Amino acid sequence: MRLSIKYTSVKVGEGCIDRPMIPLIIRRDEKHIPLLGILDSGSDFMLVPKDIAEYLNLELHGSEEADAIGSKVETKKSTVSLTVSDGKTNVYLQNIPVRVLMQDGLKEVIVGRIPFFGEFDITFRENSKRIELVRTKRG
Amino acid sequence: MKPITESLMENFDFFQKQDLSGYAGKWVIIVNRKIAGSGDNLKLLMEEVKNKYPDDEPFVVRAPTGRALIL
């Protein structure tokens, strides 16, 4: 099972930067939210902004500090389900652990390595501006 | 009502073609390839949009700030 998603071009300063963003549906119980996540192999976990956690009524557990650039941040643990899609193929992932950033400011969903990068072999095709995800596990 | 993944990809495609610099840093909700609302309070914004478009799937984006992202 393979998904291929085009990078998203974003205006930055006088030019544009292409970012590896993937369409996701995050679910918890009866609520869901379709949005974009940024793939980040440098982040240990998936990070969800507090605003999204509040909208989904996520149950939050155990405060945990994390190192971010230049500072420590407070996170709490939660669990969600995810759908990843490229329009042709949909992959549904259950019981995905996430960290919720407890401070305001971040409005990006960061899709870090654990457990997402273990569910797929992920290739960043920087020159053709595409992300390829090949499913490595079957749920 | 169309499948949720179909509306997800339609609205993702719409987002990729938009210049959202007028909404920099705000939450923007896209419904049926149109900007349905924007603001700082996501929960309130989602309630407003869902009341206005009860049969459609909203797609949530953070409008780019125009600054580089370093994670």
Q: Could you give the domains of chain A? A: 2-135 (2.40.70.10)
Phi first, then psi, for residue B5 (nearest 5°) are -70, -25
CA neighbor of B64 nearest in space, from A131, A12, A52: A12
Mean pLDDT of A115-130: 96
Return the residue in B1, B2, B6, B8 with the most chain A beta carbons within 10 A, the one to mutate for interface testing. B8
ipTM of the complex: 0.94
Contacts of B29 (CB under 8 A, 6+ apart): B35, B36, B37, B38, B45, B46, B49, B58, B59, B60
**Considering chain A, what is the average pLDDT of its residues?**
94
Rounded distance between C-alpha atoms, residue B44 and residue B61, angstroms: 15
CA neighbor of A24 nearest in space, from B68, B53, B11, B55: B11
Answer yes or no: is B70 within a domain.
Answer: no
Strand partners, A124: A131
The count of structural domains within chain B is 1
Please give the radius of gyration of chain A, using alpha carbons only, rounded to the nearest integer. Answer: 15
Return the residue in B28, B38, B42 with the most chain A beta carbons within 10 A, the one to mutate for interface testing. B42
Question: Are the beta carbons of A36 and B15 separated by less than 8 Å?
Answer: yes
Query: Looking at residue A96, what is its pLDDT?
Result: 97
Confidence of residue A44 (pLDDT cuts 50, 70, 90): very high
| B25 neighbors B62 (Cβ within 8 angstroms) | yes
pLDDT per residue over A87-116, tens digit each?
999 999 999 999 999 988 788 999 999 999
Full residue range of the structural domain in which residue B32 is found: 4-62
Answer yes or no: is B69 within a domain.
Answer: no
pTM of the predicted model, to two decimals?
A: 0.94
